[in-house]
């Protein structure tokens, strides 16, 4: 009985079974995002640890308004008219706000968790696209690089409007 042979067989099986490989990539990305948040959540300037002003003063109030009123907020009067910001990210925030309300936890915590899930989803999507264009080996390499890309991992620790739209 050899552990090295068993490990090699397991890796070969994962690599050959596409569905299993996709699940492993998703879990790997979740692991990387979680480890990054656990180790480096509070690293960097204080403003990188806090919700951004556009989140606090634009997107969050718009999402709260949509939940309460059931419609998109629109400024009226004056020459400005229309919404202050497009409603796209505010629509995305509705899901974490509802989950946070249901679970009685911080909205910001749910947004960060959603960012980690989006990281896993982008890794899987990148794999699928790259495999179709190139091959499985290149797709695997690109996916692992994306799951460990420091700048992307840095962005998941806050409520950045860019994260959901990477998908």
Largest CA distance in the chain: 79
Closest CA to 115 of 130, 101, 95: 95
Of 105, 106, 107, the closest CA to residue 93 belongs to 107
CB of 24 closer than 8 Å to CB of 107: no
Q: What tens digit of pLDDT does each residue of 84-131 get?
A: 778 889 999 999 999 999 999 999 999 999 999 999 999 999 999 999
Q: What pLDDT is stored for residue 118 in this prediction?
A: 95
Tokens of 132: 């179709």
Q: What is the pTM of this model?
A: 0.84
Helix (H) / strand (E) containing 116: helix 107-133
Per-residue b/e over 87-100, b at no fewer than 16 CB within 10 Å?
Answer: bebbebbeebbebb
Exposure pattern of 51-85 as b/e (b: 16+ CB <10 Å)? beeebeebbbebbbebeeeeeebeeeeeeeeeeee
Q: Which long-range contacts (CB under 8 A, 24 or more apart) does 12-20 make?
A: 15/136, 15/140
User: Residues 60-96: pLDDT tens digits?
Assistant: 988 998 999 898 887 654 444 445 778 889 999 999 9
Which 8-state DSSP code applies to residue 74?
A: -
Confidence class of residue 2 from pLDDT cuts 50, 70 and 90?
A: low
């Amino acid at each position: 009985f050899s552990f090295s042979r068993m490990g090699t067989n397991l890796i070969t099986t994962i690599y050959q079974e596409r569905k299993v490989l996709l699940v492993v990539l998703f879990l790997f990305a979740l692991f990387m995002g979680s480890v990054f948040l656990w180790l480096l959540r509070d690293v960097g300037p204080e403003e990188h640890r806090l919700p951004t002003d556009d989140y606090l003063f634009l997107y969050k109030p718009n999402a709260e308004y949509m939940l309460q009123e059931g419609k998109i907020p629109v400024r009226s009067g004056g020459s400005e008219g229309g919404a202050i910001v497009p409603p796209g990210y505010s629509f995305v925030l509705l899901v974490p706000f509802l989950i946070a309300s249901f679970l009685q936890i911080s909205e910001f915590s749910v947004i960060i968790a959603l960012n980690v899930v989006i990281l896993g989803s982008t890794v899987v999507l990148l794999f699928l696209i790259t495999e179709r264009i190139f091959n499985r080996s290149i797709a695997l390499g690109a996916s692992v690089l994306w799951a460990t890309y420091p700048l992307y991992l840095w962005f998941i620790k806050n409520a950045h409007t860019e994260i959901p739209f990477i998908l």
